[in-house]
Amino acid sequence: MICHKGNCISKVDNVNFTKQRKKSFLIIPISLFAIFFFILHERAGQIEAVNIILDTDISSDVDDAGAVAVLHALVNSGEVKILAMMVSSGDPWGAACLDALNTSFGRPDIPVGEIKKPTVTHESKYTRYIAENYSNTITSRAYVPDATALYRNILANSTDKSVTIVSVGYFSNLYQLLISKADKFSKLNGKELVKKKVNRIVCMGGKFPAGREWNIYHDIEAASYVVLQWPTEILFSGYEIGYKVLSGKVLKKIKINHPLKKTYQLYNGLEDRQSWDQIAVLQAAGYGKDWDAYWALSAYGKVEIDHAGNNKWSKTKDGQHRYMIWTEKTEQLSNIIDGLMLSVVQTDNQIVE
């Protein structure tokens, strides 16, 4: 049994953070971890942290877990401050899985909210296992805050134009935020509150300049409303960017049963997976900084979504929508994301050399 903040959970016998033996067949010439620890250490203190709220559909794919790891790596390097995380899927173990990942990275106090309205739900290969077998602070789903209320609370208490939202799932929570009414946190309605407090939003969603993509077509009503009504800049990281950037197999080098490794193990047997969500996190953290060297951005324009969930971008004079464009350096994000994910496992002796 493991107890954390009054929550006792049983552990399966193969879950052991510290005693698993080194696998001699996993040999790498040099520790990626050591390299990235040095890079992140050098970057810390040189930059202003971006205040980020992550909105994720953690459940049906594993890049959400990877995005959480990358976000924590960027906190370690001083580039990001995590204000909260929101779950947009109806997976009953999503919030606890998210909290378990945050706990494993040493930040169990990050507020986690979830959508309380009926929403898109898919069976997950890993969320229940992570929630039930790794320490987390969620004793009952009933105590997980409503994402809309948590958004309003966080935004109301933030400096004007200081918050960046990273959306790597359905637009369902964002829709609920936009249509929210004045409450005990703010006299502003949702759209007014977003306009006042949010700097911009980065959305993993859509295909560009035109196409059809998962995060949009699973809740078309929400995506259409948000894209039409959102009062700040929206930067889209489209399907075509993350599709060609593979990451995750490197987690085989972790010799402990860390929950990050376990998510990939349960999802695809620790093989590489597309990095859609991690790239959105990098984009949000790197706006105007040296991460920008790894992609190009379109001109400002307008994204439109039709009744079938197809999206189309067109250049307009007063548009607030841009999308990321692949460059010859974008492919290098694969190694960078792998290094960032490894770096949050904390210590050299937990990586197979």
Binding site for Ca ion (CB under 5 A): 57, 64, 168-169, 277
Residues 316 and 300 sit within 8 Å (Cβ to Cβ): yes
Instruction: Decide whether 57 or 219 has the Cβ nearer to Ca ion.
Output: 57
Instruction: Decide whether 168 or 254 has the Cβ nearer to Ca ion.
Output: 168
Provide the minimum distance between the beta carbon of 266 and Ca ion in the complex, in angstroms, as a whole number: 16
Closest CA to 131 of 219, 226, 10: 10
Please name the residues in contact with 155: beta carbons below 8 A apart, sequence gap of 6 or more.
163, 185, 186, 193, 194, 196, 197, 198
Instruction: Decide whether 37 or 208 has the Cβ nearer to Ca ion.
Output: 208
Provide the minimum distance between the beta carbon of 277 and Ca ion in the complex, in angstroms, as a whole number: 5
Instruction: Decide whether 135 or 334 has the Cβ nearer to Ca ion.
Output: 334
Q: Which backbone phi and psi does 9 adopt, to 5 degrees?
A: -130, 150
Provide the minimum distance between the beta carbon of 169 and Ca ion in the complex, in angstroms, as a whole number: 5
Provide the minimum distance between the beta carbon of 175 and Ca ion in the complex, in angstroms, as a whole number: 16
Provide the minimum distance between the beta carbon of 26 and Ca ion in the complex, in angstroms, as a whole number: 28
Q: Which residues of 12-37 are buried (b: 16+ CB within 10 A; e: fewer)?
A: eeebeeeeeeeeeeeeeeebbbeebb
Please name the residues in contact with 3: beta carbons below 8 A apart, sequence gap of 6 or more.
9
Instruction: Decide whether 64 or 114 has the Cβ nearer to Ca ion.
Output: 64
Tokens 């964002």: give the residue.
Answer: 174
Provide the minimum distance between the beta carbon of 13 and Ca ion in the complex, in angstroms, as a whole number: 31
Per-residue tokens: 239: 């399907």
DSSP conformation letters of 7-21: EEE---TT--SS-PP
Instruction: Decide whether 105 or 170 has the Cβ nearer to Ca ion.
Output: 170
DSSP conformation letters of 65-98: HHHHHHHHHHHHTTSEEEEEEEE-S--TTHHHHH
Provide the minimum distance between the beta carbon of 215 and Ca ion in the complex, in angstroms, as a whole number: 7
Q: How many CA within 13 A on the CB side of residue 317?
A: 0
Residues 352 and 327 sit within 8 Å (Cβ to Cβ): no
Instruction: Decide whether 169 or 301 has the Cβ nearer to Ca ion.
Output: 169
